[in-house]
Structure 1
Amino acid sequence: MNTLLKKCLAATLLLGGLMSLAAFTPASAASSPDDLKGKNVVLVHGAFADGSSWDKVIPILQAKGLHVVAVQNSLRSLDDDAAATKRVIEQQNGPVILVGHSWAGAVITQAGNDDKVKALVYVAAFALDKDQSINDVLKGKPAPPWASALQKDSAGYLTLSTDAIIHDFAQDLPVAQARLVAATQGPWFAGCTDDKVSEAAWHNKPSWWVLTEKDRMIPPALQAAMAQQIGATVVKVDASHVAMLSKPAEVAAAIIAAAREAQ
Structure 2
Amino acid sequence: MSLINHFASIAMLAATAILPLSQDANAKTPAMKGVKNIVLVHGAFADGSSWANIIPMLQSKGYNVIAVQNPLTSLEDDVAATKRAIALMDGPVLLVGHSYGGMVITEAGNDPKVAGLLYVCALVPNDGQSVIDVTQAFPPAPGSSEFKPDASGFLSLSFKGIDQYFAQDLPEETRKTIYATQTPWAAKATTTKVTKASWKDKSSWFIIGLDDQMVPVDLAKAEAKMINAKTLELKSSHIPMVSQPKKVADFIIGAAQQL
Normalising by the residue count of structure 2, what TM-score does the alignment of the two structures yield?
Answer: 0.86
CA contact 1:37–1:65 (8 Å) conserved in 2:
no
> What amino acid is the match of 1:48?
F
Aligned to 2:77: 80
Structure index of larger Rg: 1
Match of 1:31 among 29, 32, 41: 29
Code of the residue aligned with 1:74 in structure 2: it is P
Query: What residue in structure 2 maps to residue 221 of structure 1?
Result: 218
> CA 1:172–1:136 in structure 2 vs 1: closer, same or farther (change >3 Å)?
same
Counterpart amino acid of residue 103 in structure 1: Y
Report if the CA contact (8 A) 1:170-1:242 is conserved. yes
Query: Take 2:124 and 2:144, find their aligned partners in 1: how far apart are those partners?
Result: 20
The one-letter code matched in structure 2 to 1:50 is D
- Cα distance between partner residues in 2 of 1:47 and 1:255: 21
1:162 aligns with 2:159: yes
The Cα offsets for residues 23-51 of structure 1, whole Å up to 9 and x where unpaired, read as xxxxxx95357x46971100000001000
2: CA distance, partners of 1:30 / 1:158? 52
Deviation at 1:146, TM superposition (A): 2.8
What is the CA deviation profile of residues 161-201 of structure 1, one whole-angstrom value per residue up to 9, with x for unaligned ones? 11210110000000100111111111001111111110111
Mapped contact 2:35–2:257 kept (Cα < 8 A): no
Cα displacement (A) at 1:100: 0.2
Among 242, 250, 255, which residue is 1:253 paired with? Answer: 250
Rate the CA distance shift 1:63–1:256 in 2: closer, same or farther, 3 A. Answer: same
* 1:55 matched residue in structure 2: 52
TM-superposed CA distance for 1:209, in Å, is 0.4
Give me the identity figure in percent. Answer: 48
5+ long unaligned stretches in structure 2: 1-26
Residues 86-126 of structure 1 deviation map (CA, whole Å, 9 limit, x = unaligned): 01101110111100000000000000111111110000001
**Letter aligned with residue 178 of structure 2:** V
Q: Greater CA deviation, 190-199 or 97-106? A: 190-199
TM-score by length of 1: 0.85
CA RMSD in angstroms comes to 1.9
Deviation of 1:137 (Å)? 1.9
Gaps of 5+ in 1: 1-28
- Aligned residue in 1 for 2:87: 90
Matching of residues 181-260 of structure 1 within 5 Å: 181-260=178-257
> Counterparts of 1:61 and 1:189 in 2: how far apart (Å)?
31
Residue matched to 2:129: 132
Is the 1:36–1:66 Cα contact (8 Å) retained in structure 2? no
Q: In structure 1, what residue type is equivalent to 2:29?
A: S
